[in-house]
Amino acid sequence: MRCGLMTLMLLALMPVVAIGQMAEMEPGYVLQAEGRLVFIDKGRDEVELDDLFQIVRQENIIHPVTGENLGGQVPLGVVRIVQVFNRLSTAEVVNLAKGMDIEALDREAKQGMIRTHPLAQEMATVVREQIVSKETGRMAPPGKLNPDGIVGKTTPHLQVGFGSRPDLVLPAQIHQLIPATLTLGDLGTKPVNFVADGAYAAFSDTLLTSLADAAADSTLQPFGAASDIFLTLDFPRRPWYSITADIGIGSRSQLAVGARFYPGKRLGFLGDGYTPAGLVGEPVVTFKVGWGGRGARNLPVAVQSLLKARSDLQADDTFKAAQNAAAQPADPGVGQPADQEAAAQEAAAAQVTADAIADSVFRTGVTQMLRGAATDSLRGISTRSTGFIFELTLPLTRRFTLRGGLIRLGNIKEYSGGVTYYMKKVEAGAEGTNPDGALRSFIVSLDGAYDTGLSQRSFQLDVTYPVSMHYTISAGFLSDFSEYSRFGFSFRGYF
């Protein structure tokens, strides 16, 4: 049904007049419809078995003033010739437009409203592929497929993950975010467990650190997005290569585009055969360039509230003088001694108030400096920049495939490797398969990764299940076997 609707949408975009001009055959009529068969007034001198025709309805809409016929021909579906006689032929209905049924088609055909036009060659090719797919259970002929999908089509792959918040490349303590350590070589990009406590502060602006409220210091917990959304689009262009692009948001940002190449069998000693990842012995290469990085780039409000100046902090005389310059005390003048004493007391009280205000303004300014320095440091730690992604896949046997990869995007510096096991062997484009593998058969993948920036190892287990020729679902679990874990699922479609 889905394929039929897609075909009808394409047919509706093609002017019927153009179709008629492309073919030398005159339009015909549908004489009668019965079951899934229709009878048209074309005999063996005009048609052959398996010819495809578009059926249309002639709509007559007469202008009430000018009398002009403003109607046209509305595409209703496609039929295929299955039996040919001298003066008529029998055709089976390949698809019908939504809202049209055989009874209505028969009724309108007997009124002379349903006509036929030869189907344009481009659309005929598409329809024939759909017929073959339906009759044989094959998505497309092997020559029209590569491991990413149908050549000329689009394969979307949506992945969603959720779980614990990711570890960031951050100092252990709140006040250690303050320093500009990122200018000191590799130290600023190393995780805390590889740097002695206080090392960040030791290389920091010690004056600013000394002004921080040490009593409010606290262990910094992971923060940032607890979920990920990834969308990958594959565009198979030829059996030997595909264009690929992906975008990711969440705990990891990524925007990349590149290509995947299937160069053919290069390692003959591995034997013969086909896997959903490529031919046995065929090194499949993927290369992408893009922009990305990992980690949150803004301090949460809860973290900012812990970054503040010491409560006992007092402004120095220079700061106080600047604060009081615009508010000079009034001159008490010459008066009675009692008046002079009262004026002096008032001046002293005013000075105490001014000093308290200056101290408060000074602490506010220091607090803003602390938070600004911490924010700048965090943005430096969670760097986003251009880079590349490289992947190499090698089918070892018809059941096992090895993978290796390298990612360099911003602060992501990751090596990875893995293996995939296919429970059932498949052939390219075979009945009961899609590009991921045999239908209703599990595919298990195990991957490991090591991020040199985080000095962190992680492992991922994925189970994939091809549901039909056009859909595949997957579920996965990622963990560092410590504090970080994430569950996810994905959907892949072949349209």
> Do residues 286 and 349 both lie within one domain?
no
Which residue in 93, 58, 92, 50 sits closest to 75, CA to CA? 58
Structural tokens at position 128: 């024939």
* 180 pLDDT higher than 50: no
Q: How far apart are CA 430 and CA 20, in angstroms?
A: 37
Task: Supply the pLDDT for residue 55.
Answer: 94
> Do residues 48 and 127 both lie within one domain?
yes
**Signed CA dihedral, 142, 145, 150, 153: sign only:** negative
Task: Supply the pLDDT for residue 393.
Answer: 97
> Do residues 293 and 276 both lie within one domain?
yes
Q: 64 falls in which pLDDT band (50, 70, 90)?
A: confident
- CA dist list (Å): 298 to 171, 178, 223, 228: 15, 14, 10, 17
> Do residues 366 and 398 both lie within one domain?
no
Residue 334 lies in a domain: yes
Task: Supply the pLDDT for residue 438.
Answer: 94
Which residue in 175, 296, 157 sits closest to 225, CA to CA? 296
> Do residues 289 and 305 both lie within one domain?
no
Residue 168 lies in a domain: no
Portion of the chain with pLDDT greater than 90, in percent: 43
pTM (predicted TM-score): 0.70
Task: Supply the pLDDT for residue 207.
Answer: 65
Task: Supply the pLDDT for residue 202.
Answer: 37
Please tell me the least confidently modeled range out of 180-189, 252-261, 434-443, 464-473. Answer: 180-189
Out of 54-58, 221-225, 309-313, 437-441, give the one with best mean pLDDT. 437-441
> Do residues 428 and 351 both lie within one domain?
no
Task: Supply the pLDDT for residue 381.
Answer: 77
> Do residues 399 and 362 both lie within one domain?
no
161 or 296: which leads in pLDDT? 161
> Do residues 318 and 462 both lie within one domain?
no
Residue 141 lies in a domain: no
pLDDT digits (tens, 9 = 90+) for 346-364: 777 877 788 888 888 888 8
Q: 327 falls in which pLDDT band (50, 70, 90)?
A: low
Task: Supply the pLDDT for residue 147.
Answer: 94
Residue 242 lies in a domain: yes
Task: Supply the pLDDT for residue 361.
Answer: 86
Amino acid present at 178: I
* 150 pLDDT higher than 50: yes
Amino acid present at 282: E
Which string of b and e fits 416-451 if b means at least 16 CB within 10 Å? Answer: bebebebebebebbeebbbbbbbbebebebebebeb
The pLDDT mean for the chain works out to: 82
Residue 34 lies in a domain: yes
Q: Mean pLDDT, to the nearest integer, of 212-234? A: 85
Q: How far apart are CA 294 and CA 288, in angstroms?
A: 18
> Do residues 463 and 314 both lie within one domain?
no
Q: 278 falls in which pLDDT band (50, 70, 90)?
A: very high
Task: Supply the pLDDT for residue 473.
Answer: 97
Looking at 381, 403, 430, the residue that finishes a domain is: 381
> Do residues 265 and 392 both lie within one domain?
yes
Q: 203 falls in which pLDDT band (50, 70, 90)?
A: very low
> Do residues 457 and 364 both lie within one domain?
no
Portion of the chain with pLDDT greater than 70, in percent: 85
pLDDT digits (tens, 9 = 90+) for 241-263: 999 999 999 888 999 999 999 99
Looking at 357, 381, 405, the residue that finishes a domain is: 381
Q: How far apart are CA 44 and CA 38, in angstroms?
A: 16
Q: How far apart are CA 270 and CA 279, in angstroms?
A: 10
* 336 pLDDT higher than 80: no
* 33 pLDDT higher than 80: yes
Task: Supply the pLDDT for residue 39.
Answer: 95
Residue 147 lies in a domain: no
* 183 pLDDT higher than 50: no
Q: 411 falls in which pLDDT band (50, 70, 90)?
A: confident
Q: Mean pLDDT, to the nearest integer, of 1-5? A: 45
3-state secondary structure the chain: CHHHHHHHHHHHCCCHHHHHHHCCCCCEEEEEEECCEEEECCCCCCCCCCCEEEEEEECCCECCCCCCECCCEEEEEEEEEEEECCCCEEEEEEEECCCCCHHHHHHHHCCCCEEEEECCHHHHHHHHHHHHHHHHCCCCCHHHEECCEECCCCEEEEEEEEECCCCCCCCCEHHHHCCCHHHCHHHHHCCHHHCCCCHHHHCCCHHHHHCECHHHCCECCCCCCCEEEEEEEEEEEECCEEEEEEEEEECEEEEEEEEEECCCCCCHHHCCCEECCEECCCCEEEEEEEEEEECCCCCCHHHHCCCCECCCCCCCHHHHHHHHCCCCCCCCCCCCHHHHHHHHHHHHHHHHHHHHHHHHHHHHHHHHHHHHHHHHHHHHHCCCEEEEEEEEEEECCCCEEEEEEEEEECCEEEEEEEEEEECCCCCCCCCCEECCEECCCCEEEEEEEEECCCCEEEEEEEEEEECCCCEEEEEEEEECCCCCEEEEEEEEECC
Domain span including residue 456: 153-160+232-297+385-493
Q: How far apart are CA 39 and CA 89, in angstroms?
A: 6
> Do residues 270 and 316 both lie within one domain?
no
Residue 169 near residue 187 (C-beta atoms within 8 A): no
The packing angle between helices 2-12 and 121-136, to 10°, is 180
User: Would you mind telling me the total number of residues written for the chain in this entry?
Assistant: 495
Task: Supply the pLDDT for residue 444.
Answer: 97
Residue 142 lies in a domain: no
Task: Supply the pLDDT for residue 304.
Answer: 85
Q: How far apart are CA 192 and CA 219, in angstroms?
A: 11
* 189 pLDDT higher than 50: no
Q: The CATH number of the domain where 414 resides is what?
A: 2.40.160.40
Q: 168 falls in which pLDDT band (50, 70, 90)?
A: low
Q: Mean pLDDT, to the nearest integer, of 397-407? A: 97
Residue 128 lies in a domain: yes
Number of structural domains in the chain: 3
Looking at 381, 411, 437, the residue that finishes a domain is: 381
Q: 236 falls in which pLDDT band (50, 70, 90)?
A: very high
Residue 375 near residue 337 (C-beta atoms within 8 A): no
Which residue in 247, 230, 222 sits closest to 161, CA to CA? 230
Q: The CATH number of the domain where 48 resides is what?
A: 2.40.10.410
